[in-house]
Chains A and B, each alone.
Chain A
């Protein structure tokens, strides 16, 4: 069965420093993986998706993620954090041809000025 584990419930960075949000997945076959972002009191927005075309995936707002099969990881990175990046981030794996998304517990990113 597919599952995801987000390794940090909270991450705090200073503005202008790199961001790393960690995600490990478990899947019995080649997975489709997503990162979604949720700003306070808002719905979820897709940041990026991996569907086996390329292992390094670029998303919106300068975020990218690298799929590493040997490590079963799909970590989210950004070279330089901005105050507007403060939000909750979810790593998600797809099941049943996209009909079922399995969410990680979420990582709350805090950006300090």
Chain B
């Protein structure tokens, strides 16, 4: 099992450019999540998908959109990147129901110039 995989690992964008971060999991998990990590702030939830076909806003959704493509894949899109979106982005997944822990991908380091 690969677990949670993310592409790309690194990306540099110019202000105003768009891009999509890809995430896939092979653990047959129902729920998937996107976080951003900034120094001294822990991780903050951007969007999540509790199950295939549903998406909900998290703590910091502005400037982002998501798509739950199927049970395995959950993408995060930046339509018009801003320097404030420079961050490390993590995707996570978990089994729905109960209090099962979330499993995290290796992260994407994004720099917006």
Contact = CB atoms under 8 A, between A and B. Distances in A.
A30 to B, nearest CB: 11
A82 to B, nearest CB: 23
Given A34-B101, A43-B104, A104 B42 contact: yes
- 10 tightest Cβ-Cβ pairs between the two chains A and B: A103-B42, A43-B104, A44-B104, A32-B99, A43-B106, A103-B43, A46-B101, A98-B99, A51-B99, A105-B42
Interface of B: 4, 31, 33, 40-45, 48, 50, 56, 58-59, 90, 92, 94, 97-107
A99 interface: yes
A101 B46 CA distance: 11
Nearest to B40: A105
A101 B41 contact: no
22 contacts: A9-B40, A34-B101, A42-B106, A43-B4, A43-B104, A43-B105, A43-B107, A44-B43, A45-B104, A49-B101, A97-B97, A97-B98, A97-B99, A98-B31, A98-B99, A99-B56, A100-B58, A101-B45, A103-B42, A105-B40, A105-B41, A106-B42
A101 B106 contact: no
Contacts of A51: 99
Contacts of B105: 43
A45 B105 CA distance: 9
A90 interface: yes
A99 B50 contact: yes
A105 B94 CA distance: 22
Nearest to A44: B104
Given A97-B99, A100-B48, A103-B42, 6 more contacts: A43-B106, A46-B103, A90-B42, A98-B94, A105-B40, A105-B41
Given A42-B106, A105-B40, A99 B101 contact: no
